[in-house]
Amino acid sequence: MEKMQQIVGRARAAFRSGRSRPLEFRIQQLKALERMVQEKEKEILAALKADLNKCGYNAYSHEILGVLGELALTIEKLPSWAAPQPVKKNLLTMRDEAYINYEPLGVVLVIGAWNYPFVLVMQPLIGAIAAGNAVVVKPSEVSENTARLVAELLPQYLDKDLYAVVTGGVPETTELLTQRFDHILYTGNTAVGKIVMAAAAKHLTPVTLELGGKSPCYIDKDCDLAVACRRITWGKYMNCGQTCIAPDYILCDPSIQSKVVENIKATLKEFYGEDVKSSPDYERIINQRHFKRVKSLLEGQKIAHGGETDEASCFIAPTILTDVSPDSKVMEEEIFGPVLPIVPVKSVEEAIEFINGREKPLALYVFSNNKQLIKRVISETSSGGVTGNDVIMHFFLSTLPFGGVGHSGMGAYHGKHSFETFSHRRACLIKDLKMESTNKMRYPPGSQKKVDWAKFFLLKRFNKARIGLFVLALLGVVAAVMIK
């Protein structure tokens, strides 16, 4: 407990010194982080290989590329993001200065996830630094090699007091959560998300929770199945299915179920060859515990493809399940593995009803040649994000907020949204001490005349370009005289 108090206390003292606030310092730290990623690329790739069996190409495209893109965008745009944002004024404040000032929250905690252990720590860290905060980073202990590397590298490149790294498992995280933070961003499952939120509530600390859920994928009969299934296969089986926004299950008409299976099988052969196990592009389940959990989901199911497992290497082949019952075990929890159930539905109405009967997912996918049908599904359901005629790709567009809703999380980040998540939008109004007579309508004693003039100034809408500031000022003088 004392160690955690010291780490957080040191970060808070560093924040209170004010050195994280200047824009020049923030950009300097972001550039140092960028240099770290570039200079230590081989070490990062090696850690990801050790944790998840990610080959160099996949590790770079899934983790490093996104971090470098986020850094480049933030470094370029931060001056405009951080600048005071003027707001529209009413007649009573037309001579005043009114703006939103973005200020750092203080000391924030970022708790990363094991499935993408580098990018899911670095992207929130980038936003927190950009906003001028001190940050305590807690990488997931499950991806131990990447966690160890992050703890080793960050102090070499960033301010050691402002940006601390805490490693360890549940006991360390539990102790860390007893400390007071000014914001917590957690990526992980719903059960732990509840624990994080309960701990934060004791200090009235706001949270961003990036959770998960069962992200549905509806395939309309009016659809290019070959293209749809290739995109679904890519999104489902990348990282061995261990992606929070992977399509969790497919909803489709029974008449196209067999065609969907055949198209996915053909794509799997195209992606990974005849022997998936020997493919350098196919990852492994993170550990034995998760291997056993995913394997147990296959029990009693109709396996249309795959199903092969190897406990020693945590290998589970890309698997397709057909005619899956909505009440089966595989449909109860987020799969987080290379198992794809297909649940038959007879119409888009039934698909919408099925989706709405469950917790709100982190992502939702719809494939159809009919854009109106896609927009109907969007308008009649709720999810953290949606991609039509593809999967996962909304994650890579930094102008879109990435986050959940309901059981799949709260709050969002990426790009400018990260900066805003870790900032306080401070309302600022600066007046002068002149024209005091115009304020008489708000001072006692009250009268109906004062109320009428207040209604005029607050409720009336004028085109300032047409009426001119001079006329508005004149109205203020007239009001003051009349009230007097």
Q: Which two tokens stand for residue 400?
A: 């879109």
- Give the angle 113-268-244 at the CA atoms, nearest 5°: 20
Q: Which two tokens stand for residue 256?
A: 């196209």
242: nearest Cα among 354, 386, 392, 127 = 392
Helix/strand/coil for 99: strand
Chain-centre distance for alpha carbon 207: 12
Cα–Cα distance, 146 to 38 (Å, whole number): 16
Residue 102 pairs in a beta bridge with: 425
Give residues with Cβ within 8 angstroms of 202, minimum separation 6.
none
The 8 Å CB, 24+ separation contacts for 253-256 are: 253/221, 253/344, 253/345, 253/346, 253/347, 254/344, 254/346, 255/221, 256/219, 256/221, 256/225
Active-site choice (244, 283, 314, 334): 244
- Give the angle 298-301-307 at the CA atoms, nearest 5°: 45
H or E stretch including 191?
Answer: helix 190-201
Query: Is there a catalytic annotation at residue 210?
Result: yes
> How would DSSP label each residue in 108-146?
EEEE--SSSTTHHHHHHHHHHHHTT-EEEEE--SSSHHH
Amino acid identity for residue 59 in this structure: A
Residue 401 pairs in a beta bridge with: none
Amino acid identity for residue 399 in this structure: T
Q: What's the farthest any 2 CA atoms get from each other in the chain? A: 91
Cα–Cα distance, 257 to 344 (Å, whole number): 7
Helix/strand/coil for 189: coil
Active-site choice (70, 210, 283, 334): 210
Cα–Cα distance, 184 to 205 (Å, whole number): 7
Query: Is there a catalytic annotation at residue 244?
Result: yes
Chain-centre distance for alpha carbon 268: 29
Residues taking part in catalysis: 210, 244
